[in-house]
Structure 1
Amino acid sequence: MTSGFFDSHTHLDEEVFGDELGDVIGRAHGAGVKWMVTIGAGATLDTSRRAVELAQREETVWATVGIHPHHADLVSDTAIEELTALAKRPKVVALGEMGLDFHYDFQPVELQRDAFARQIELARELDLPVVIHSRSAERECLDLLCAGGPPKRRGIFHCYTGDVATAEAILARDFWISIPGIVTFKKAAEMHALVEALPLERLLIETDAPYLAPHPHRGKRNEPALIVHTATKIAEIKNASLDEVAQVTACNAWQAYFFDRHHHGSPNVS
């Protein structure tokens, strides 16, 4: 039995869970998932509102609020005002997910950059960490985060699929990297090499549920209970025990969301 998993990035507000959400959370607890962060990132600010409401109801769930780069056109003075108010609600632990996506390019690049920059500035003002979406734009995200000085509380590059050199630059700037279920895929050699190269002490784990279900559930609806597959693969790559991966990545998630990078204590995750 492990000390407990921390799913650092999930989307429990998604309609696909519907009336099953209670069962999904129950299965997570049964699988040893003790902590979850549900991410505000939908096509409207309703996603962030629902994330906050869910965190109020569920003891083991926290929330983030933010505007995804796919919906960068939502960012306005009014939206920033509402994000500010939502971010001050109890159990909101970060802003995001925010960032850049040059893979799908659903929004013009300059619009994405502006939306990202405005949310970074809000994170500085509120002293909150950030959750970063950086698909095919990892280096660009890091550069924009560090222009004018990165947020004091730094944050997490979620679902990281970039190269090792950029990952090392991210870690050198005191950000964290979160590993998704992609690491379990048989042909994910680059992801395996990434995990092998990076120190476990700087990694988080996530499901990104309901997306990116790990092997052997690939192609099906993902949920937090399946994070055990991701942790097991990381343990295999790092030649570590499953309990060590669970405990270290949980401590890392607590540090990322709740403490400054140089906090001198460690949460009790046993």
Structure 2
Amino acid sequence: MKGAFDSHFHIDRLGRELRLATYNLRELQGSAQSMDQSNCVHLCGAVANFCDPITYPSLEDVNFLKSQGIVTTVGLHPRHATGVRPATVDKLQEMLQWPEVVGLGEIGLDHTAPMEEWAVQRDVLATALGLLGPRHVLVLHCRGRHEARVFGAPRIPLLSVCGSCVKGAEDFRKCSLWIYQSRRKEEVYHGTC
């Protein structure tokens, strides 16, 4: 069986989808027996991205994941921006202070949301970027409207917000950028900067 490292893994969403309340990777993998075995790989490690405030992990959860070779990032998915409250930002800030949390994300802009929400998304992105520490990897989410194939949108506003919140090029550190142009799998671009 081939080995693999998953660099963008929503273990909380997977558990919810499988109706399992666990972060035990072996249990999650065992419950997916209906999968085509020819596509299976041995997961050597992963980056677990928690961006849904309702499923934020506890420090105990983060340490359990770490014991399985999974590192953790925490963020605020842009589709949740209108529901972000000061307590949510406080919790995010607290988790980012845990040495076991390696990054901020995913955060960003999602222009499949109604246009009226875009300004709130930019504000939440700017707030989240203010919590970014020098040791954190940054995981950015960037999704445009499916019908609008204009180059750069919403990448230009995303980079503009990031540029004004992250002072100086020397502060712009490891970054994982996910750009979704459509729901079609072949049009998801991942890059690092």
Q: TM-score, normalised by structure 2?
A: 0.70
Report what 2:185 is aligned to.
182
Letter in 2 for 1:17: L
Q: Distance in 2 between matches of 1:105 and 1:130?
A: 25
User: Alignment partner for residue 55 of structure 1, among 56, 62, 74?
Assistant: 62
Quickly say closer, same or farther: Cα 1:181–1:103, change in 2 above 3 A.
closer
- Note the alpha carbon deviations across 1:185-210, whole angstroms, 9 max, x for none: xxx6xx6xx7xxxxxxxx66xxxxxx
- Return the alpha-carbon distance in structure 1 between the equivalents of residues 113 and 12 of structure 2: 23
1:17 and 2:18 are equivalent in the alignment? yes
Whole-angstrom CA distance in 2 between matches of 1:68 and 1:98: 5
**8 Å CA contact retained: 2:82, 2:117:** no
Q: State the superposition RMSD in angstroms.
A: 3.1
Partner of 1:147: 164
- Greater relative contact order (Cα 8 A, min sep 6): structure 1 or 2? 1
Provide the rounded CA distance (Å) in 1 between the counterparts of 2:128 and 2:90. 11
Which runs of 5 or more structure 2 residues have no equivalent in the other structure?
A: 33-39, 145-153
- Length-normalised TM-score, structure 1: 0.52
Q: Percent identity?
A: 25
Contact 2:126 2:161 in 1 (8 A): yes
Alpha-carbon deviation of 1:127? Answer: 3.9
- 1:6 equivalent in structure 2: 5
Q: Which runs of 4+ in 1 moved over 6 A?
A: none
- The aligned residue for residue 66 of structure 1 is 75
Return the structure number with greater helix share: 1
Change (3 A) 1:72 1:23: same
2: CA distance, partners of 1:55 / 1:73: 27
5+ unaligned residues in a row in structure 1: which ranges? 163-179, 195-202, 205-255, 262-270
Residue-pair matches, total: 165
Other structure's SS at 1:133 match: strand
